[in-house]
């Protein structure tokens, strides 16, 4: 029997888990799983089997596959080759390099890299190039951060996998949702943010006196150091690969095979359903995770030397984080807590008002905590007024709301207290104070601006309707 008191206690415990995971070394995913194992039996009379059944095995295999494949591509130099190719594109046009890095960052995360992993690999290269050419580091930092976000909503990207899996857990929502549109909208907004940053900060940046007065010790304070150790991914090792090293990178059989493998995977996952539906009248879907594991297994058998240690580079903390949050949310869904929240939102009189509240929560929490955890928790909270229990037509377009939530929750990763923002500060230590101040300003612009803009453009207009 549903109890409001029980529901409030269960939600409060979830909030406490977020807070403890954000300010301590205790992993949020572990906290969520342990909380489910305690709250489920005590408050909802669940069995341990029911608790274990809430763990998202499909999501586990998907994240396992895409992060393993990216680990192989990184280890064998394929990622470095992609970056080197981008460097050659802007020879003699150094001030355009942020846009190249945006595209490269998007590509790297689109093939499965976690956003902090992408930033850790690309930020030292990008800001090293900036320092050599005496270019303002802020647009470059923003390009890597927002580019990593833009690509991550692809069907095999980290955020895309998480969002799509969470959506599929609600069949009614899945029927209304278009993941491709979400990916495009996120990418466009991210590019516009980079364009705005470049336009406003394309000058040379701080004076030589300001640069000389700023040392690494000045900006490596406790907050930044803590931010560099992400709760999802552990300490990020910003690779030592320099621009000069990358100039020596050339295609070899291993990197060529990896590129072919990535292309085949993309064609199977994205292209196969479209082709089979067009020619045979029935979609044939290839599972993202299993396809990525198959491609990774072939690469490992063909090139075992570079594949050594790839398993250890799988984003296990991310898998645990999302798995734990989704397991707890599954418990709340089974016992009607999510539906109750949706009904409360509906009672506000206008679901559009409810949606803007969710967008602000997503932006604020993600700027200082886990974006993946935020997406996993907030999307289910939106289901009741996207898919009304009485069978009526929703007033809000499901794709637009999920896209707006994705934009609001991910673009704020430029915050100096997020992993990506901290990596920008650490690798741009020669102008660290300048980068810190402006990334902090931009994060608050986006915390306030992205919910309002996406709400006004994607949710408020009545003509979008409920469909995808």
Nearest-angstrom CA–CA distance, 300 and 27: 31
Cα 313 from Cα 67, distance rounded (Å): 8
Distances (CA, A) of 392 to 345, 366, 379, 389, 459: 16, 32, 20, 8, 18
Alpha-carbon distances, residue 418 vs 102, 405, 412 (angstroms)? 19, 18, 9
* Confidence class for position 243, pLDDT limits 50, 70, 90: very low
235 bridge partner residues? 229
What residues form DSSP beta bridges with 249?
none
Check: pTM over 0.85? Answer yes or no. Answer: no
If DSSP codes are grouped into helix, strand and coil, which group holds residue 103?
Answer: helix
The confidence score (pLDDT) of residue 246 equals 44
pLDDT at residue 91 in the model:
61
Length of the chain: 468
Residue found under tokens 């044939």: 284
**pLDDT surpassing 60 at residue 258:** yes
The pLDDT value given to residue 237? 36
What pLDDT sits at residue 26? 82
Q: Does residue 307 surpass a pLDDT of 60?
A: yes
More confident residue, 279 or 466: 279
First to last CA, the chain: 35
Distance of CA 411 to the CA centre of its chain: 9
pLDDT confidence bin for 150, thresholds 50/70/90: very high
Q: How wide is the angle at C-alpha 412 spanned by C-alphas 340 and 226, nearest 5°?
A: 100
pLDDT in tens, 170-200: 777 778 888 889 999 999 999 999 999 999 8
Q: Is 77 left (phi over 0), alpha (psi -120 to 50) or beta?
A: left
Computed over every residue of the chain, the mean pLDDT equals 79
Lowest mean pLDDT across 109-113, 318-322, 384-388, 445-449: 384-388
* Model confidence at 289: pLDDT above 70: yes
CB 359 within 8 A of CB 405: yes
Asked if residue 119 lies in contact with residue 161, where contact means CB atoms within 8 angstroms, the answer is: no
Whether the pLDDT of residue 222 is over 70: the answer is: no
Query: Which of 108-112, 172-176, 188-192, 203-207 has maximum average pLDDT?
Result: 188-192
Q: How confident is the model at residue 336 (pLDDT cuts 50, 70, 90)?
A: confident
Helix (H) or strand (E) holding 265, with range, is helix 253-266
Beta bridge partners of 229: 235
To the nearest whole percent, how much of the chain has pLDDT over 90?
A: 21
Strand-pair partners of 234: 230
pLDDT at position 395, please?
67
Residue 388 is predicted with a pLDDT of 63
Q: Residue 292 above 70 pLDDT?
A: yes
pLDDT band at 249 (very low <50, low <70, confident <90, very high): low
Q: Confidence band (pLDDT; 50, 70, 90) for 80?
A: confident
**Which helix or strand (DSSP H or E) is residue 235 part of?**
strand 234-235
Q: What does the pLDDT read at residue 347? A: 65
Q: Could you say which DSSP state residue 241 is in?
A: -
Distant-in-sequence, close-in-space partners of 56: CB < 8 Å, separation ≥ 6: 165, 169, 322, 323, 326, 327, 330
Task: Check pLDDT > 80 for residue 312.
Answer: yes
Q: Please give the C-alpha separations between residue 385 and each of 30, 318, 350, 454, 461, in angstroms, as whole numbers.
A: 30, 29, 10, 18, 16
Distance CA 282, CA 286 (A): 13
Does residue 264 surpass a pLDDT of 50?
A: yes
Between 287 and 304, where is the model more confident?
304
Do 149 and 410 form a contact (C-beta atoms < 8 A)?
A: yes
Arithmetic mean of pLDDT, 206-234: 38
d(C-alpha 108, C-alpha 144), whole Å: 11
Q: Which two tokens stand for residue 11?
A: 């939600």
- Radius of gyration, CA atoms only, the chain: 22
Alpha helices, DSSP H only, in 93-238? 97-110, 115-133, 137-152, 158-168, 171-174, 179-200, 208-213, 216-219, 222-228
pLDDT at 381: 75
What confidence score (pLDDT) does residue 79 get? 77
- What pLDDT sits at residue 125? 75
Q: 16-30, 264-278, 296-310, 420-434 — which one is most confidently predicted on average?
A: 296-310
The owner of tokens 């669940």 is 46
* Percent of the chain at pLDDT exceeding 70: 81
Asked whether the beta carbons of 124 and 429 are under 8 A apart, the reply is no
Q: Model confidence over 3-52: pLDDT tens digits? A: 889 989 998 998 888 788 767 878 888 888 999 999 999 999 999 999 98
CB-based contacts of 375, cutoff 8 Å, min separation 6 = 159, 162, 163, 166, 362, 405, 406, 409, 410
Q: How far apart, in whole angstroms, are the C-alpha atoms of residue 91 and residue 66? A: 32
* More confident call, 447 vs 417: 447
Q: What is the 3-state secondary structure (H, E, C) of 392-441?
A: CCCCCCHHHHHHHHHHHHHHHHHCCCCHHHHHHHHHCHHHHHHHHHHHHH
Burial class of residue 211 (count of CB atoms within 10 Å of its CB; 0-12, 13-18, 19+) = middle
pLDDT in tens, 358-416: 888 888 878 876 777 778 778 887 776 676 665 556 668 888 889 999 999 999 988 88
């Amino acid at each position: 029997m549903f109890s409001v008191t029980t529901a409030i206690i269960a939600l409060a415990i979830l909030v406490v888990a977020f807070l403890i995971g954000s300010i301590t070394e205790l992993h949020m995913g572990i906290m969520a799983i342990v909380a489910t194992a305690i709250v489920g039996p005590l408050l909802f009379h669940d069995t341990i089997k029911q608790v274990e059944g809430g763990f998202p095995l499909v999501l586990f295999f998907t994240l396992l596959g895409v992060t393993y494949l990216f680990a192989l591509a990184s280890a064998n130099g394929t990622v470095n080759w992609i970056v080197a190719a981008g460097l050659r594109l802007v020879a003699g046009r150094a001030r355009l390099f942020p846009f190249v890095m945006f595209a490269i960052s998007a590509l790297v995360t689109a093939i499965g890299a976690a956003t902090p992993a992408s930033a850790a690999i690309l930020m030292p290269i990008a800001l090293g190039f900036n320092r050599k050419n005496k270019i303002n580091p802020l647009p470059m930092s923003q390009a890597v951060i927002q580019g990593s976000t833009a690509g991550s909503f692809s069907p095999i990207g980290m955020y895309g996998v998480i969002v799509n899996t969470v959506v599929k857990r609600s069949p009614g929502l899945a029927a209304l949702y278009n993941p491709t549109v979400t990916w495009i909208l996120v990418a466009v907004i991210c590019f516009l943010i980079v364009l705005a940053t470049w336009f406003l900060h394309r000058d040379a940046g701080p004076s030589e006196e300001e640069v000389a007065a700023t040392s690494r010790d000045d900006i490596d304070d406790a907050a930044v150091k803590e931010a560099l150790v992400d709760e999802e991914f552990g300490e990020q090792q910003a690779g030592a690969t320099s621009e000069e090293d990358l100039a020596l990178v050339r295609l070899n059989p291993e990197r060529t095979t990896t590129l072919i493998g990535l292309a085949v995977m993309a064609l199977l996952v994205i292209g196969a359903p479209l082709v089979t539906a067009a020619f045979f009248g029935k979609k044939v879907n290839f599972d993202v995770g299993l396809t990525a594991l198959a491609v990774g297994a072939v690469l490992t058998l063909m090139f075992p030397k570079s594949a050594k240690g790839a398993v250890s580079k799988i984003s296990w903390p991310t898998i645990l984080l999302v798995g734990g949050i989704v397991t707890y949310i599954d418990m709340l869904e089974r016992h009607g807590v999510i539906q109750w929240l949706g009904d409360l939102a509906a009672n506000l009189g206008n679901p559009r008002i409810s949606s803007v509240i969710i967008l602000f929560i997503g932006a604020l929490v993600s700027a200082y905590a886990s974006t993946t955890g935020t997406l996993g928790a907030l999307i289910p909270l939106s289901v009741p007024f996207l898919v009304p229990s009485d069978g009526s037509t929703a007033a809000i377009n499901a794709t637009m709301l999920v896209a707006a939530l994705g934009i609001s929750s991910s673009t704020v990763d430029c915050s100096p207290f997020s992993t990506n923002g901290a990596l920008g500060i650490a690798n741009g230590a020669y102008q660290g104070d300048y980068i810190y101040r402006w990334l902090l300003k931009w994060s608050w612009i986006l915390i306030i601006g992205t919910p309002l803009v996406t709400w006004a453009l994607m949710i408020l207009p009545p003509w979008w309707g409920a469909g995808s």
